[in-house]
Amino acid sequence: MSSTSSIPVRILGLIPARYASTRFPGKPLIDIHGKSMIQRVYEQASKSATLSEVAVATDDERIREHVEGFGGKVIMTANTHQSGTDRCAEAARHLPGFDVIINIQGDEPYIDARQIDLLGDCFSNQETELATLVKIVSSNEELHNVNSPKVILNRHSEALYFSRTPIPYLRDKSPDSWLSAHTFYKHIGVYGYRADILEAITKLPVSLLEKAESLEQLRWLENGYKIKVAVTDIETRAIDTPEDLKTVLKENKS
């Protein structure tokens, strides 16, 4: 059998959502021009041409009631999960029969469905285990922002390493000239997993590189899994704090 085929018929989009955020409690239910954030994410994800189904994965009854209230599908999960990946894995067990699971960030209310489609396209190759998106870094501020992880790729468009610092380090150039001398990529934090791989990676212990950078995807690389990468030119805006919300409200009027 060839290693490539059409996109799997069954791709599940999951939106992990928890109420108890340290920096912004109740974030999924905040109002953004008349709709909650979680509803906006759900509606944007539902526009994707590659997803067979969309569901919210949560441990909070308030979020469950709200999602069901606007007609969305919701899966209740344990409140002990350390990451969205772990929450997606449990939710996927309640919804068997999907070839691929896409983990959609619940704090990006204006996520473009084309990004989800681009990620889904990575799985047209049956050898793809995991996939994510990157975008070319466009400013020095972005390049040196430790909250915006960077990634380097191999010639097969697979991730070699993720870091909170700029990589690679350009030894013979001054840092303020790096962008003109090299193409740097920042990570866009949406993930796709082949269903069996998702189950496998949740059983891995926390790795040394993951601890060092506080980036869970390094655990997968350190254990030999391959992460396919697609390049997007669409910017995303996550809401992590009340200040971020103010910015998003100004940028988007509806």
Q: Is 221 helix (H, G, I), strand (E, B) or coil?
A: helix
> How do residues 172-225 score in pLDDT, each as one tens digit?
999 999 999 999 999 998 999 999 999 999 999 999 999 999 999 999 999 999
3 domain-assigned: no
Cis peptide before 205 (omega within 30 of 0): no
pTM of the model: 0.92
pLDDT in tens, 53-68: 999 999 999 999 999 9
With the CA atoms of 148, 37, 122 and 216 taken in that order, what torsion angle do they form, in degrees rounded to the nearest 10? 40
CATH at residue 37: 3.90.550.10
User: Token pair for residue 122?
Assistant: 């990575």
Residue with tokens 């396919």: 228
Examine residue 215 and state whether it is found in any structural domain, yes or no. yes
108 and 238 Cβ atoms separated by less than 8 Å = yes
Nearest to 24 by CA among 251, 244, 242: 242
Contacts of 119 by beta carbon, 8 Å cutoff, 6+ apart: 50, 102, 131, 132, 133, 190, 191, 192, 230
DSSP characters over 146-177: TTS-EEEE-TTSBEEEEESS-SS--TTS-GGG
Range of the domain at 221: 11-247
- What is the DSSP pairing of strand 35-36 with strand 31-32? antiparallel
**Distant-in-sequence, close-in-space partners of 103: CB < 8 Å, separation ≥ 6:** 14, 16, 84, 85, 88, 190, 191, 192, 193
More confident residue, 253 or 192: 192
Determine, yes or no, domain membership for 209: yes
**Amino acid type, 115:** Q
Cα 180 versus chain centre, distance = 28
Predicted pLDDT of residue 168: 97
pLDDT band at 33 (very low <50, low <70, confident <90, very high): very high
pLDDT at 29: 96
State whether residue 199 is helix, strand or coil.
Answer: helix
Residue 4 lies in a domain: no
Residue 2 has pLDDT above 70, yes or no: no
Domain count, the chain: 1
Q: What is the sign of the dihedral through the CA atoms of 16, 42, 214 and 228?
A: positive
252 falls in which pLDDT band (50, 70, 90)? Answer: confident
What distance, in Å, lies between the first and last C-alpha atoms of the chain? 48
Report if residue 2 sits inside a domain: no
Q: Is residue 186 part of a domain?
A: yes
pLDDT of 8 above 70: no
Report the C-alpha gap between 31 and 144 in whole angstroms: 32
The answer to whether position 254 is within a domain reads: no
Asked if the model's pLDDT at residue 146 lies above 60, the reply is: yes
Residue 134 resides in a domain? yes
What is the rounded average pLDDT for all residues in the chain?
93
